Amino acid sequence: MSALNIKKGASSHSAYDLRDPYSEVIEVHTLAVLVDNEAGVLARVIGLFSGRGYNIESLTVAEVDHKGHLSRITVVTSGTPQVIEQIKAQLERVVPVHEVHDLTVEGPSVQRELALFKVTGQGEPRVEALRLADIFRASVVDSTLESFVFELTGTAEKIDAFADLMRPLGLQEIARTGVAALARGA
């Protein structure tokens, strides 16, 4: 009989989470937190992160149920598997929190970010900026004789790649929304 070929790591196809909880490997996780839409809730959730020295790489908040007064907080954070488990456990204990989902381990998810880029320039750099925007499917939302404002939606990696290409062409400012994410499927 041959040995089982089981690789370490979580999989949406496995009933077992074989990650080492004491691993020193830093992982990036996307957490979706459903909370009451009331004053001070965001401060309490963020206070949990800052009070324990946890990092927030992206934060997005919006009301998702007007009648039920519920908001969804999407947090991208990083840490060891043990730290991520602590974050989830502590979030679940905050009173106005209804649900905490770790979209990274619960299965496939869709993650997108919106960004605005102000690019200034004339002549050939201006033409090149328009050509690259077309390749990345960025929309021109404002145009003057000296600048463009491009709108781009996609993964964080796509937005980073577009920014890297725009820098030598006159990138002046970037505004990013942060990650919005949903689990795929039913």
In this predicted model, what pLDDT tens digit does every residue of 132-149 receive, in sequence order? Answer: 999 999 999 999 999 999
Q: Determine which of 17-31, 92-106, 121-135 has the lowest per-residue pLDDT on average.
A: 17-31
CATH for 27-102? Answer: 3.30.70.260
Would you say the CATH fold of 109-183 matches that of 27-102?
yes
Distance CA(156)–CA(174), nearest Å, equals 13
* pLDDT given for residue 2 in this prediction: 47
* pLDDT given for residue 38 in this prediction: 92
Model confidence at 11: pLDDT above 60 = no
Do the Cβ atoms of 36 and 69 come closer than 8 Å? yes
Q: C-alpha distances in angstroms, 186 versus 20, 49, 82, 102, 107?
A: 29, 30, 29, 16, 11
Q: Which CATH architecture has domain 109-183?
A: 2-Layer Sandwich (3.30)
Q: Which of 23, 69, 72, 64 is nearest to 45 (CA)?
A: 72
Model confidence at 14: pLDDT above 90 = no
pLDDT in tens, 151-181: 999 999 999 999 999 999 999 999 999 999 9
Residue-range domain boundaries for the chain: 27-102, 109-183
Question: Which H helix or E strand runs over 75?
Answer: strand 70-79
Cβ atoms within 10 A of the Cβ of 45, count? 21
